[in-house]
């Protein structure tokens, strides 16, 4: 009978030798186990007794040739063919839940023999031998291929009893290994009491600390699956897995596991990279088993598989990932070398190299940027929610105001644009979708109490990608903004200046490192009144968070000496690895921190209600029509307001004509030139008339 179980199938042994081997192993099973310590997810260590290859083969054959043929309770939802963690969880969707975890104590030798290898089916010597082969020191060990199936058999009487008891009360019961779940409308205390009584009788102990009552109004999880309204994977698990996949694809597997300090993978070298990728594929498989139609993870699975193969085989495509990893971790010289090798390999194979050459040029550009890291003192940083990050900018009234698009324009919906309003509130710079569907930066002027139509900033600001997060210095010509068109990665911060002679902006310049990074960097602000600079970045931040950096602005750009420094040192400064590494003048830092503290605690003055702002003299400014004492002055001022409105309208018209002129052919320019010249003369005349009328208003008010 024992030979019919084929416990050493595949070994070219005689029957006597097989029997002798089985008995020898059963008498000294402790010699055939290795103790493993596996860290638990929630902390602590789980002890696993792993059998050696010989014993594992025997136990696996016991599982396949004996145990898999024995009948289980339908309530056992794990470790048998057809079992599904998703199906187990789905039974309990939309109901009140009692979840009981980790109730197993020690499953003893006698329990195993009685429930798995009892004398009804096996002669006592055979049953004893099989039990000995599956146990270690008279208990069922974790780590054996047969242990899970045996535990289901041990729990069969409990499952059958509880299922019958629950059925009478319209309660759904299932057990996934050592995780029991009850759902329906019932008194939780009654169920828990019944479970405790039966477990006590079996020699197990109810784990009170891991017994939870979950109502419909809380998040309900069964074996790690959310079951409130539908079966799904917890959002935190999805988010973390998506992040791991994203970083592996963006930075490379090795760099990602290094950033996570995954020593168990790093110590294995290239084999560790493959092992980590296989673990990701396992997690992706779990998500897809719960939500089979999840498109993002279906695509991620297809993306990770080639990456795994590239790492395994180190095929030519692996150079691509390696180069990208170098580039995204500031090792630009290594990236350049890697892409050059990649291009050479592609050329040998007569494959297109255009995309690789673009990556090479970007790496070279990034290297040039690394060689010009600005020597700037960063005094503080703090992490905030991305959705409300503008609230963290504590800038002076003299530097203007910052708003979200929805906040300023009183709109709703998911609008990513921001608005900058000048100090006196007569002009705004903002971002919204332009003609090409990308975010463009526009400006508006305030005419009396009305805003003009939005006008896209002329020049190349809006030439490529999305342009957002504008800020303008007090000079009115220097504009900082962020664009995702070209740069280190994501949004980069740029600066440009208005050219009054051509009515356009100069070619934007990337402000460089450390302000920009391979991540998203934006909302660069210089508070000239407080002598503090601000910018935001999501570098090294979790999803939904950004880091706000505060620095001391330089009057002129000063850079570190790249050639005289170690590569890792300059990389640390470019990454803003440590704020204190940027502190060359401790006194300047102390003073700047004091200014920052004052700015944070400052309460802005309440602005009085005003319809306009009109200066009478050095000591008097009027804001309302009721401020005028002279009826004549009031009448003149109303004429002044109308003329000012007409002036701005004509100015807007002139700006529109100039834009048309710039894009017209020679014939079109010839036709438009006279109209532009006439309008310029008219606007000049109106300006002179406004100046004269302004003087008349003041004189009339003073001589009332």
* CB 216, CB 127: distance < 8 Å: no
The pLDDT, as a whole number, for residue 228 is 47
Q: Residues 457-477: what's their mean pLDDT?
A: 90
Encode pLDDT of 375-406 as tens digits.
999 999 988 889 899 999 999 989 999 999 99
% residues pLDDT > 90 (the chain)? 22
Tell whether the model's pLDDT for residue 93 goes beyond 60.
no
Q: In this model, does residue 222 exceed pLDDT 50?
A: no
Question: What are the φ and ψ backbone dihedral angles of 467, each rounded to 5 degrees?
Answer: -115, 130
* Look-up of token digits 């590239």: 310
Bridging pattern class, strands 492-499 and 509-510: antiparallel
| Coil, strand or helix at 87 | helix
Distance, in Å, from the CA atom of 491 to the CA atom of 416, rounded to the nearest integer, reads 13
pLDDT of residue 1: 63
Let me know how many helices (H) and strands (E) the chain has, helices first. 21, 25
Question: In this model, does residue 606 exceed pLDDT 80?
Answer: no
For the segment 81-91, what is each residue's pLDDT rounded down to a tens digit? 555 555 555 55
Residue 146 has pLDDT above 80, yes or no: yes
pLDDT of residue 331: 81
Q: How far apart are alpha carbons 700 and 197 in whole angstroms?
A: 99
Task: Determine which helix (DSSP H) or strand (DSSP E) holds 281, and give its type and residue range.
Answer: helix 270-290
Is residue 109 within 8 A of residue 138, CB to CB? The reply is: yes
Please give the share of the chain, as a percent, with pLDDT higher than 70.
82
Per-residue pLDDT, 85: 54
| pLDDT recorded at residue 583 | 92
Phi, psi at residue 523, to the nearest 5°? 55, 60
pLDDT digits (tens, 9 = 90+) for 292-330: 666 666 766 665 555 555 544 554 455 676 677 677 678
DSSP 102-116: ----PPBHHHHHHHH
Helix residue spans in 180-269 (DSSP H) = 188-202, 235-251, 253-259, 263-266
Please state, in angstroms and rounded to a whole number, the distance separating the CA atoms of residues 133 and 22. 8
What are the C-alpha distances in Å from 579 to residues 550, 572, 582, 587?
A: 10, 10, 6, 15
Q: Is pLDDT at 286 greater than 80 in this prediction?
A: no
CA atoms within a 13 Å half-sphere pointing along the CA-CB vector of 10 = 6
Q: Could you tell me if 535 and 524 are in contact, meaning their C-beta atoms sit under 8 angstroms apart?
A: yes
CB 73 within 8 A of CB 160: yes
Contact predicate 291/284, CB 8 Å: no
**pLDDT of 15 strictly over 60:** yes
Neighbours of 651 (CB within 10 A): 17
Q: Which candidate, 553, 543, 403, 536, places its Cα nearest to that of 482?
A: 536
Over residues 619-675, the pLDDT tens digits come to: 888 888 888 999 899 999 999 988 888 888 888 888 888 878 877 888 888 888 888
- Encode burial over 298-311: b for 16+ CB neighbours within 10 A, e otherwise: eebbeebeebbebb
Return d(Cα 515, Cα 471) in angstroms, integer.
Answer: 15
pLDDT at 485: 83
* pLDDT, mean of residues 419-442: 91
- Report the pLDDT averaged over residues 681-701: 90
Extract the tokens encoding 500: 């009054």
Evaluate if residue 355 carries a pLDDT over 50: yes
Higher pLDDT, 174 or 468: 468
170-179, 449-458, 515-524 — most confident range: 515-524
Mean predicted lDDT score pLDDT of the chain = 81
0.85 exceeded by pTM: no
Task: Kindly report which listed range (9-18, 116-125, 488-497, 692-701) carries the lowest average pLDDT score.
Answer: 9-18
Structure tokens at 20: 């002798």
Place of tokens 């205390």: 189
Mean pLDDT value across residues 574-602:
91
Model confidence at 374, pLDDT cuts 50, 70, 90, reads: very high
Our measurement of the distance from residue 540's CA atom to the centroid of its chain's CA atoms, rounded to an integer in Å, reads: 9
pLDDT score recorded for residue 399: 93
* Strand intervals (E) in 448-567: 450-451, 455-456, 467-472, 478-483, 492-499, 504-505, 509-510, 521-527, 532-537, 545-552
Evaluate whether 32 touches 54 at the Cβ level (below 8 Å). yes
Whether 67 has a pLDDT exceeding 90, the answer reads no
Residue 41 confidence (pLDDT) above 70: no
Under DSSP, is residue 402 helix (H, G, I), strand (E, B) or coil? strand
Give Cα 223 to chain centroid, integer Å.
Answer: 26
Cα atoms in the Cβ-side hemisphere of radius 13 Å centred on 332: 21
For 420-440, give one letter per residue: b (16+ CB within 10 A) or e. Answer: bbbeeeebbbbbbebeeebbb
Interior angle at CA 91, CA 87 and CA 93, nearest 5? 110
φ/ψ of residue 68, rounded to 5: -65, -15
**Residue 146 CB: number of other CB atoms within 10 A?**
27
Averaged pLDDT for residues 500-517: 88
Burial group, residue 182, by CB count within 10 angstroms (0-12, 13-18, 19+) = buried
Whether residue 92 is predicted with pLDDT greater than 60 in this model: the reply is: no
Convert the pLDDT of each residue in 529-556 to its tens digit: 999 999 999 887 777 889 999 999 998 8
Output the pLDDT for position 315: 47
Q: What is the pLDDT of residue 623?
A: 84
Q: What is the mean pLDDT of residues 411-430?
A: 91
Q: Among 411, 450, 451, 449, which Cα is nearest to 433's?
A: 411
309 secondary structure, DSSP code = H
pLDDT in tens, 254-279: 888 888 777 777 776 666 776 777 67
Task: Report whether 309 contacts 253 (CB < 8 A).
Answer: no
pLDDT tens per residue across span 526-536: 999 999 999 99
């Amino acid at each position: 009978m024992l030979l019919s179980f084929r416990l050493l199938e595949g070994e070219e042994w005689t029957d006597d030798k097989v029997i002798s081997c089985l008995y020898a192993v059963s008498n000294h099973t402790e010699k055939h186990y290795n103790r493993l310590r596996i860290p638990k997810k929630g902390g602590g260590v789980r002890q696993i007794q792993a059998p050696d290859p010989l014993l594992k083969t025997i136990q696996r054959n016991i599982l396949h040739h004996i145990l898999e043929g024995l009948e289980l309770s339908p309530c056992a939802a794990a470790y048998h063919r057809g079992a599904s963690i998703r199906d187990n969880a789905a039974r309990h969707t939309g109901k009140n839940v009692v979840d009981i975890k980790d109730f197993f104590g020690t499953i003893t030798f006698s329990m195993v023999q009685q429930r798995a290898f009892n004398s009804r089916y096996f002669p006592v010597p055979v049953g004893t031998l099989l039990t000995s082969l599956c146990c270690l020191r008279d208990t069922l060990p974790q780590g054996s291929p047969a242990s899970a199936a045996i535990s289901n058999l041990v729990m069969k009487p409990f499952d059958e009893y509880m299922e019958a008891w629950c059925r009478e009360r319209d309660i759904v019961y299932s057990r996934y290994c050592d995780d029991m779940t009850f759902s329906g409308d019932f008194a939780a205390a009654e169920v828990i009491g019944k479970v405790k009584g039966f477990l006590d009788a079996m020699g197990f102990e109810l784990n009170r600390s891991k017994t939870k009552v979950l109502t419909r109004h809380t998040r309900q999880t069964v074996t790690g699956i959310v079951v409130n309204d539908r079966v799904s994977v917890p959002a935190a698990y999805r988010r973390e897995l998506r992040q791991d996949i994203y970083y592996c694809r963006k930075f490379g597997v090795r760099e990602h596991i290094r950033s996570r300090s995954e020593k168990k993978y790093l110590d294995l070298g290239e084999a560790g990279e493959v092992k980590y990728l296989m673990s990701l594929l396992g997690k992706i498989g779990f998500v897809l088993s719960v939500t089979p139609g999840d498109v993002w993870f279906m695509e991620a699975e297809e993306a990770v598989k080639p990456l795994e193969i590239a790492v395994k085989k180190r095929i030519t495509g692996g150079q691509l990932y390696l180069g990208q990893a170098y580039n995204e971790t500031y090792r630009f010289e290594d990236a350049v070398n890697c892409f050059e090798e990649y291009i050479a390999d592609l050329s040998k194979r007569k494959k297109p190299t255009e995309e690789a050459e673009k990556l090479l040029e970007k790496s070279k550009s990034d290297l040039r940027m690394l060689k010009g890291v600005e020597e700037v003192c960063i005094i503080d940083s703090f992490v905030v929610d991305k959705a409300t990050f503008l609230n963290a900018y504590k800038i002076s009234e003299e530097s203007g105001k910052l708003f979200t698009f929805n906040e300023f324009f009183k709109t709703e919906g998911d609008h990513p644009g921001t608005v900058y309003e000048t100090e006196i509130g007569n002009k705004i710079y903002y971002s919204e979708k332009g003609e090409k569907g990308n975010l463009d930066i526009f400006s508006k002027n305030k005419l009396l109490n009305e805003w003009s139509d939005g006008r896209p900033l002329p020049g190349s600001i809006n030439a490529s990608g999305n342009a957002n997060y504008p800020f303008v210095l007090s000079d009115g010509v220097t504009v900082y903004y962020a664009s995702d068109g070209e740069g280190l990665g994501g949004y980069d911060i740029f600066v440009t200046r208005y050219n009054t002679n051509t009515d356009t902006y100069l070619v934007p310049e990337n402000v460089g490192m450390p302000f920009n990074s391979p991540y998203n960097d934006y909302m660069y602000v210089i508070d000239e009144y407080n002598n503090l600079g601000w910018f935001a970045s999501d570098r090294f931040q979790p999803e939904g968070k950004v880091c706000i950096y505060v620095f001391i602005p330089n009057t002129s750009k000063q850079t570190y000496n790249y050639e005289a420094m170690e590569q890792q040192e300059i990389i640390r400064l470019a990454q803003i690895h440590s704020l204190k590494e940027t502190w060359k003048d401790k006194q300047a830092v102390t003073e700047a921190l004091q200014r920052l503290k004052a700015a944070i605690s400052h309460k802005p003055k309440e602005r009085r209600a005003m319809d306009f702002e009109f200066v009478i003299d050095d000591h008097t400014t009027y804001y309302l029509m009721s401020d005028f004492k002279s009826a004549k002055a009031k009448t003149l001022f109303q004429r002044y307001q109308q003329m000012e409105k007409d002036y701005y309208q004509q100015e807007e018209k002139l700006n529109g004509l100039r834009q048309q002129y710039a894009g017209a052919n020679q014939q079109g320019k010839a036709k438009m030139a006279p109209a532009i010249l006439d309008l310029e003369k008219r606007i000049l005349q109106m300006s002179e008339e406004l100046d004269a009328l302004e003087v008349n208003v003041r004189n009339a008010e003073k001589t009332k």
